[in-house]
Structure 1
Amino acid sequence: MKITILGKGNMGQAIGKNLAMGNEVEYFGSHDVVSNFGDLVVLAVPYPALAKIADQYHQELAGKVVVDITNPLNFDTWDELMVPADSSAAQELQKLLPESKVLKAFNTTFAGTLTSGKVGTTPTTVLVAGDDAAAKEKLFTALAASPLQVLDAGKLKRAREMEAMAFLQMTLAAGEKISWNGGFGVNK
């Protein structure tokens, strides 16, 4: 499967490492122009970049599975999420890309746990929320050869809880209460 990752930072590289096991992965940075997206597109960018990407590539992303990994944390205050309380970054992105199949994934993991495949001694679990079963299956298939566990977290509206969980995890790490190589683990 051809996969496009927008974002060349730590998260983009860590996600790409896992997706490259059995798939063709290409990376694009913020100043690159993408002319041909893969079937699966991972937006490994900061939350504020989503609206610009949706505006710029609305037509090119139609019919694609688009994976939002963002956490809409207010990085000025580290004290709130920047989306309405009854929504999420992924739900807002789905409104901007109505012809795409938006999934929420990878936002509850740190780059270190994606790279190592472990949270402590527990395998890293990628939670996936979305409204399209075939889109979820495409991501599950793309990750099948990786050491990561993948767990269906439900409909796209569950992205709200995933972002809240990630917010807590990030503030704990920023406060040096947990490691950036640790975090929450899921035992299946």
Structure 2
Amino acid sequence: MSSISIVGLGNMARALAGRALAGGNDVEIIGRDQARAKELAAALGGATVGTAGAPPTGDIVVLAVPYAGAAAVVSEYGDALDGKVIIDVTNPVSPDAQGLVTPDGSSGAQEIAKAAPGGAHVVKAFNTVFGHMLAQGNTLDVLLAGDDAEAKASVSAFIESLGLRPLDTGSLGMARWLEGTGLVMIGLGNHGAGSFDFTLDVNTSA
């Protein structure tokens, strides 16, 4: 099992923490609002509470914060993230949900990686899974991307501990397309599907 620090206190943080604890992982909750962090940890049971800005205890650090502040969070931690695997779950979507706010040819994950110390490895994952669907406890497919094979193996093992199926899409450059997929899913939820009660599944059967 893994040692996980989750930075964030929203629905995605709660869903990931709950499944991580159920999978036997050590979970640290970190948020700027210490009272809310303690409330979340108490509601989940079994999680510890970290201090915002202090070095995360987990070998894997999950960025479950809005994209707009994600790179700043990584910069704030600085060398405390050296040697860590950073999971970026964000979707860098414009306010009108009509596009992405990342530079042309780049991705949110790649921009976050620029802010991380050289010894940290960013892996894109979970951005194509809605938090409330994750919280239901079903077996879901989790698409991921990253440049470091060892980091991706660690993230894949973590994903499997949650009762989910990891599917590697390639290098971190693929995060641009995973984020585009996240945008498409938001569009479907707003329009074609009529709700966000759906998942992206990959059928590998013949």
Q: Distance in 2 between matches of 1:89 and 1:11?
A: 17
CA distance in 1, matches of 2:199, 2:161: 23
* Equivalent in the alignment of 2:190: 174
Q: Counterpart of 2:92?
A: 72
2:5 alignment partner in structure 1: 4
Q: Which residue pairs with 1:137 in the alignment?
A: 153
* CA-CA distance at 1:179 after TM superposition: 2.6
* Distance change (3 Å), C-alpha of 1:48 and 1:183: same
Displacement of 1:113: 2.1
CA 1:106 to 1:66, structure 2 compared with 1: closer, same or farther past 3 Å?
A: same
Q: Does 1:155 align with 2:171?
A: yes
- Over aligned residues, Cα RMSD in angstroms? 1.6
Task: Give the secondary-structure state (helix, strand or coil) at the position aligned to 1:138.
Answer: helix
SS at match of 1:104: strand
In terms of mean alpha carbon deviation, does 48-57 or 136-145 score higher?
136-145
Corresponding residue SS for 1:12: helix
Task: Give the residue type in structure 1 aligned to 2:199.
Answer: G
State the Cα distance separating 1:187 from its structure 2 match. Answer: 1.9
The answer to which structure has the higher helix fraction is 2
Match of 1:94 in 2: 113
Relative to 1, partners in 2 of residues 1:48 and 1:154: Cα closer, same or farther, differing over 3 Å?
same
Partner-residue secondary structure (3-state), 1:48: helix
TM-score by length of 2: 0.83
Q: Give the whole-Å Cα distance in 1 for the aligned partners of 2:74 and 2:161.
A: 30
Output the amino acid matched with 2:24: G
Q: TM-score, normalised by structure 1?
A: 0.90
Which of residues 58, 62, 67 in structure 2 aligns to 1:42? 62
Q: CA deviation at 1:29?
A: 1.5
Which structure: larger Rg? 2
1:73 Cα deviation after fit = 0.4
1:59 paired with 2:79, answer yes
Amino-acid identity (%): 38
Q: Which runs of 5+ in 2 are unaligned?
A: 34-50
What SS class does the counterpart of residue 87 from structure 1 fall into?
Answer: coil
How far has the Cα of 1:104 moved from its partner? 0.2
Unaligned 5+ runs, structure 1: none
